[in-house]
Amino acid sequence: MTRRAWRQLQTTFLLLLGVFVGGMVAMSVYTLWRLRGEAVANSLGIAAMHSRSFEDFLTQSLHLTELVAVNSLAPVPLVRDARKVERTFVAALEHAPFLRSISLLDDVGRIVASSNPANLGVKVATQTYLPADAGGLQILRIGEPWAGRDFASGQPSTAGAPVDADSLSFIPVIRGIGLGKDRVTLLFALNPDYFINHIAQKLAAGEGSVSVLRYDGTLLMDSDPGGRPGSLRDHFIRDLRLDEVEFGQFEQDDGEDRPQLVAFRASRLYPFLVVTALDRRHALQQWRIETRTVLGVMVPALLASTLLAIGLYRRQMQLAEQRAESERLQQINAASVFTNAREGIMITSPDGTILDVNEAFSRMSGFDREESLGQNPRFLRSGVQEKEFYTAMWGNLIGQGHWSGEVWNRGKNGEMFAAMLTISAVRDDQGRTRQYVALFTDITLLKANEEKLKRTAHYDALTGLPNRVLLADRLQQGMMQTQRRGQRLTVAFLDLDGFKAVNDQHGHEAGDQLLMTVAGRMKQVLREGDTLARLGGDEFVAVLLDLPDITSCAPILNRLIMASAQPVPYGEQRLQVSTSIGVTFYPQAEEVDADQLLRQADQAMYQAKLAGKNRYCVFDAELDRSVRSHNERLEDLRRALLANEFVLHYQPRVNLRSGAVIGVEALIRWQHPEQGLLLPATFLPLIENHPLAVDLGEWVIARALEQIAAWRAAGLEMAVSVHIGARQLQQAGFVERLAEILAGQPEVEPGRLDLELRETRALKDLASVCAIITACRKIGVSFALDDFACGHSSLTYLKSLPVSRINIDRSFVCDLFEGGENRAILEGVIGLATAFRRQIVAEGVENVEQGRMLLQLGCENVQGDGIARPMPAADLVAWVVAWQREAGVAKPASPRTLATTDPS
């Protein structure tokens, strides 16, 4: 707002305020003046009422006086007897309290008879009495007041010497009675106090006064104590113009005295008039109180509202000034923000015509202000966004008044730049869009970084091929697409052959170079839509899409193999590898997911490696199933071990010569919850080369030790032999683990346990096996060679390993009678054992003959179903007791008894 407008506004406000205050004051003054007028009119009415009532009262009194005069002398028509007359006067006075005396005048005006005898002889001049004597008319005539109480002591007043204010006075009145020589004149002394008392009853103190004047202006009486009867007010009478009006009222404010409200009334019968003068101040007292009340309310209210209006006005002015200031600052700021903002700013009209752009916009787009003005923003269009994008953007702008998002624009130099764009509609008070303001933030660098990050997350840094993450995505999409199109998808898992050697011989960098080159070549041989990804190391996966059947992928696979086998020059060297590929297809008879496909291809690749590398192998579902079933059974065994489903049965060994039970062999069984008791042949081969074999072996040792302790507690000292697998024995830390298990049963002597070892190729390094056996012997655990003489290197074993005992395989025992060869071997073995000072146990003894023969050959210790079949631990004590009873402890047992002692 301009300064002039401010001044105009200020003047208008002050004018309006003035008009309002003036109006209020004028209205109040008018109302109060009107109220005053009413109060004055009222008071004048009251004065007139007083004048009229007093005039009436006085007229009646004078009329009564006339009647008194007429009646009092009626009985004495001829005034002869003065005494009688006087008595009549006295009697008449009783009925006229307003008279002081009644007297009779003679012809010369001397009192000849009177109700007051003191008056006799007083001469009274009546020439000036009014109305003037007009030929002896019998009318009442009023004289000038006298000072004093009655004629006797009184003195007539004149205009020059009126009665003193505080003195008594009376008014002489005469009346002629009779005619001719009977005519007499009666003189009355009218008591003014009687009338004044009457007035005093009507008028409140200070209200005003009532005076009675003769027509010539002589004051006859006055209720005001300051009034001097006899004084002349002829001017006053003149002004009243009594010849024209009989009564009237007016306001008298001559400035000298107190202002008065005057009402007068002339008597119709007698020459006097009554003048009532009310004190105007007294009359307006109520009005003044009301005025004060009104003003008491009005003035502060007016003052307050004026102050409030001024206050509000000043506050509004202040606010308006602040607003104007802030608008001014805003304009300054807006202009400065527009120019200096780092964001590009573009202002367009509602139809999109560019109205202004700032420097940042020009820097970003390359178009300077002049080139931009008047254009439509689509001159920046890059073609990246589709038409729908802009439709949605305009929809938002029109509907919600703003839009923000990322756009790719094309600058003047033809290069694209990415911008974070925020467009806002600028609307007026009516909600109409006046302009659009668009803010551009250059995010090209941000986008490039984002792209880089995306690449790192999805691409292999070395080869630039998609990585595992992107592969999963592509494979997923490929599977969906394949299903839609009813075609086939091939997943090929590639692993370079001999890559480690390249690394080892030529260094890691050479390996990298080879990986990059081979990756590039393999990618070359694939088709447009196919994917080659690097999983890591020298592993790649190719996803081949849109193949009509599984045979059609063969040429591509061969091309891949050939591409990978091309030599790669590296400095002076030529590096060369080949590739093994595992292939699987999608869809399959069973539902498969992407992970399964990769596993299948990996498995097939493994088969290709096994089959000699540099080839491809197709995933074999049948083989897979059997492997899967193997795995499931392994899982069963693991579960059974945890569920404690395995049990140990024990087969005794005895000395045939002494009959002593020399120990038992622990044999594992699986108490299967559904299939019953399973022999080891049904499950042990499964875990032969599996880590589970070690767990199970440890369980057997621990269980056997527990059993030794249990038997010992039951009074049976028993040695237990446990078979130990080659894998378990050669497991790192076997001796320590064995010691730990033994420590778990401290009451069991380690010598009660011996471990039986079978001759097998799995015992690779005899020297280290020897060391293990020696270490075990140190902690008290001895070893036996099981199934001795079955293998090819039994002698080597016997020579190399520090075992305490050898177990002769059952095949030699059972064939003992069939040919000389077995018997000769048996004799040789027994001889060897004796030579090497090893104990010997013959296994598989089934009958008495075999026992006897063995005894003959020098083998006393035997084991076999002929002695006892394997039995649960709980049965062993009873069997031992029965055996010893049968055989007799310490005395040689008869081989005959053997078969009969088998409890099973």
Ligand X SMILES: Nc1nc2c(ncn2[C@@H]2O[C@H](COP(=O)(O)OP(=O)(O)OP(=O)(O)O)[C@@H](O)[C@H]2O)c(=O)[nH]1
Query: Residue numbers of the site for ligand X (CB under 6 A)?
Result: 462, 495-501, 503, 508, 511-512, 515, 537-538, 609
Q: Which is nearer to ligand X, 272 or 540 (CB)?
A: 540
CB of 530: closest distance to ligand X in angstroms?
A: 23
CB of 689: closest distance to ligand X in angstroms?
A: 20
Structure tokens at 814: 């059972």
CB of 504: closest distance to ligand X in angstroms?
A: 7
CB of 598: closest distance to ligand X in angstroms?
A: 17
CB of 770: closest distance to ligand X in angstroms?
A: 33
Q: Which is nearer to ligand X, 503 or 804 (CB)?
A: 503
CB of 564: closest distance to ligand X in angstroms?
A: 11
Angle subtended at Cα 738 by Cα 734 and Cα 744, rounded to the nearest 5 degrees:
150
CB of 503: closest distance to ligand X in angstroms?
A: 5
Pairing of strands 219-222, 208-214: antiparallel
Distance CA 713, CA 700 (A): 20
As a dihedral over the C-alpha atoms of residue 752, residue 758, residue 761, residue 766, rounded to 10 degrees, the angle is: 40
- Which among 706, 782, 715, 698 is positioned nearest to 747, based on CA atoms? 706
CB of 524: closest distance to ligand X in angstroms?
A: 21
Indicate the residue type of 286: Q
How many Cβ atoms are within 10 Å of 50's Cβ, its own excluded? 25
Distance CA 399, CA 881 (A): 103
Q: Which is nearer to ligand X, 462 or 766 (CB)?
A: 462
CB of 611: closest distance to ligand X in angstroms?
A: 12
Indicate the residue type of 34: R
How many Cβ atoms are within 10 Å of 45's Cβ, its own excluded? 13
Q: Which is nearer to ligand X, 300 or 537 (CB)?
A: 537
The 10 Å CB-count burial string (b at 16+, else e) for 805-833 is bbbbbbebbbebeeeeebbebbeebbebb
- Measured at CB, which residue is nearest to ligand X? 511
CB of 522: closest distance to ligand X in angstroms?
A: 15
| Residue 3 three-state SS | helix
CB of 462: closest distance to ligand X in angstroms?
A: 6
Q: Which is nearer to ligand X, 222 or 495 (CB)?
A: 495
Q: Which is nearer to ligand X, 464 or 555 (CB)?
A: 464
- Burial class of residue 610 in the structure, from the number of CB atoms within 10 Å of its CB (0-12 exposed, 13-18 middle, 19+ buried): exposed
Q: Which is nearer to ligand X, 57 or 606 (CB)?
A: 606
366 DSSP assignment? S
Q: Which is nearer to ligand X, 357 or 496 (CB)?
A: 496
Is the dihedral angle over the CA atoms 818, 824, 827, 829 positive or is it negative?
A: negative
Is the dihedral angle over the CA atoms 803, 809, 813, 817 positive or is it negative?
A: negative
Please say whether the beta carbons of 696 and 702 come within 8 A.
Answer: no
Angle between helices 3-73 and 192-202 (to 10 degrees): 140
Distance CA 578, CA 652 (A): 59
Q: Which is nearer to ligand X, 578 or 884 (CB)?
A: 578
Q: Which is nearer to ligand X, 352 or 507 (CB)?
A: 507
- Which among 155, 149, 143 is positioned nearest to 101, based on CA atoms? 149
Q: Which is nearer to ligand X, 498 or 888 (CB)?
A: 498
